[in-house]
Chain A
Amino acid sequence: MTISPSITSPERRPFRLVGLLPWLFAAVVVGYAMVVGGYAATVVSFALIYAVFVTGLNLFMGFAAQVSFGQNAFAAIGGYGSAVLTATYGWSPLPAMVFGIAAAVLAAAIVGFPALRLKGHYLAMGTLAIGLITYEITVEWQSVTQGYLGISGIPPFGIGSWEVTSDRGQLVMLSLVVAACAFAAARIRRSRFGRALSAVAGSEEAATALGIDVSRYKLMAFLLSAGFAALAGSLFVHVVGYVSPEVFGLHMVIVTFTMLYVGGIGTVAGPLVGALIVSLLPETFRAFKDYQDLAYGAALILLLIYAPRGLASLFAPRGRS
């Protein structure tokens, strides 16, 4: 009847091995893309960029159980920050990326301070507005963003004279970034900070009664999430070399929500698994031709019926990740 707390005890060991499966899956997919290269490498690269974004979204929506339909705004700030500073002003990518992330976090602080007083549906509507406003700005502020034309000639990511230009090099770089993001999420999960976020998710009243400053932790999660989004936006423009308003439009919101729920909201591995599956599924149904979207939709519905807490949750003991 006694349950040993030690993680090396025999009854816990199977869980730990099973918990590695999502990571193994991701490694196999990335490894395959690395070997094959070409189109597969491009698809997986985009998936990894999305994984960065969704990992951030998960901090706010999964860990702290808040809603935001507007994180694409911060991806846009990060992406356009990098694009404008490198292509127009000739900055090198790393400082441009850092500047873009800082600008996004600052914007998130300005917007989040009032917006996070809202709850539930109202927070969802408020954040949706943030995304739409940012989209309009990227379209209308033509002197900086060049409107619908977009900005091209953005250099690939690199530090100093070292540049990541090849498909495989980009895959390696993105894999490292995603691994670092997942590592950060895992560490946050099992920390005082992460437990405070879970407490906010569980019951704001109880969290408050235990001395947790709920609005402060919500804001912190929002800022972190915005930082990840801006990082993803910046990575995107350096990988593709081009940016236009559509990149960070409403489509991004829908795709990333799908990734978050398919992968497993609130888990550490979920965002990566979701990003890979949702990016690859349409490709695997390419043979269905006209019925590709239909097959994709059906697959998503089946996933949500048989794994309502997401794919990653199938491999994690309940209440853990």
Chain B
Amino acid sequence: MSRLKLEGVTRRFGGLVAVDDVSFEVPAEGVTAVIGPNGAGKTTLFNLISGALPPSAGRILFEGQDITGLPAHKVATAGLVRTFQLVKLFEDLSVLDNVKVGCHLQGRAGLFAALLRPASARREEAAVDARARELLDFAGLSAFADEPASGLPYGRQRMLELARATAAGPRLILLDEPAAGLNTEESAALSRIIRRIADDGTSVLLIEHDMTLVMNTADRVVVVDFGRKIAQGTPAEVRADPAVIAAYLGTGKPSPDPAATQEAAHG
């Protein structure tokens, strides 16, 4: 059974069809990427999957369970956690506490546990602390644990958002342009971290403009344009697909040069 399955998912905004009858599957293993020119409907697609928006038609199945139209926090509870195109950290919290918030779904302590602090709550808190520190270590942020999150440089904020999402213990993680604004070096480090998350058994679905990252990281690529899925396959297959090249170059003439595809994708 695939981790995630989209069946004819459609979203209309008035007369505009932002996502048009998209179907694809995300297998449990590895990294799947969604690419497409600006305005192709990628972020809308993510908003539909993560529950931020309800679809106008179609079904979304997560591990066989119908999650179509569930509120976003319930989608997360089901094991599907997303990050954002523009980093959304809890800026007044420390770096460590940001990751601890990410552990929210791992815990159960409520108001009374907060006030009375029974042994179970203390154990839970100790476990959360240990896990959060482990993840900071994983993301290379241990040295900044007690700094306010707002003080981190941009590249590290991205890493923190990734660590925080991982803390939720998702079985599928949605990454919305994780490499946006990163330099080549940071992007390569990100690629390694994404690979490791996938190797640890979490499926990864990402939207990305950075073709280097996609080609190096993704096992499968889904290409969307004008809200429709136009191609699907391995990075190499997709790169050679005439429809994809046409979409990126905006002409009907297929170009055999993959470098051209990359250039256009950056633009």
Contacts and interface: CB of A to CB of B under 8 A. Distances in A.
Contacts of A212: 73, 101, 104
B115 interface: yes
Given A5-B146, A192-B109, A206 B73 contact: no
B157 to A, nearest CB: 12
Interface stretch (B7-15, B77-85, B229-237): B77-85
A3 to B, nearest CB: 6
B77 to A, nearest CB: 5
Interface stretch (B25-33, B89-97, B178-186, B195-203): B89-97
Interface in A196-216: 196, 198-199, 201-203, 205-214
Contacts of B84: 205-206, 209
Contacts of A205: 52, 84, 88
29 contacts: A1-B143, A3-B143, A3-B145, A5-B96, A5-B146, A187-B114, A187-B115, A191-B109, A191-B121, A192-B107, A192-B114, A192-B124, A192-B125, A195-B93, A195-B100, A201-B92, A202-B92, A205-B52, A205-B88, A206-B89, A207-B90, A208-B52, A208-B73, A209-B72, A210-B101, A210-B105, A210-B164, A212-B104, A266-B92
The 4 closest A-B pairs by CB, nearest first: A202-B90, A191-B114, A211-B76, A319-B148
A196 B114 CA distance: 12
Given A210-B165, A220-B111, A202 B89 contact: yes
Contacts of A220: 111
A205 to B, nearest CB: 6
A203 B86 CA distance: 12
Interface of A: 1-3, 5, 184, 187-188, 191-196, 198-199, 201-203, 205-214, 220, 224, 266, 318-320
Contact of B88 (A5, A203, A214): A203
Contacts of B191: none
A195 B106 CA distance: 13
Looking at chain B's contact residues, is the secondary structure mostly helix, strand, loop, or mixed?
Answer: helix
A65 to B, nearest CB: 9
Which of B73, B93, B121, B124 has the most CB atoms of chain A within a 10 A radius of its CB? B73
Given A210-B104, A211-B76, A211-B105, A319 B145 contact: no
B133 interface: yes
B153 interface: no
A211 B51 CA distance: 11
Nearest to B168: A210
Which of B128, B146, B148, B165 has the most CB atoms of chain A within a 10 A radius of its CB? B146
Which of A208, A211, A212 has the most CB atoms of chain B within a 10 A radius of its CB? A211
Contact of A199 (B101, B121, B133, B165): B101
Nearest to A206: B88
B110 interface: yes
Contacts of B125: 191-192
Given A2-B143, A202-B91, A214-B73, A196 B111 contact: no
B175 to A, nearest CB: 12
A222 B65 CA distance: 34
Contacts of B93: 195, 198-199, 202, 319
Given A3-B145, A202-B92, A214-B73, A195 B101 contact: yes
A239 B182 CA distance: 61
A211 B92 contact: no
Contact of A319 (B94, B104, B117): B94
A188 B73 contact: no
A206 B148 CA distance: 17
A266 B90 CA distance: 14
A194 B101 CA distance: 10
A266 B50 CA distance: 31
Contacts of B82: 209
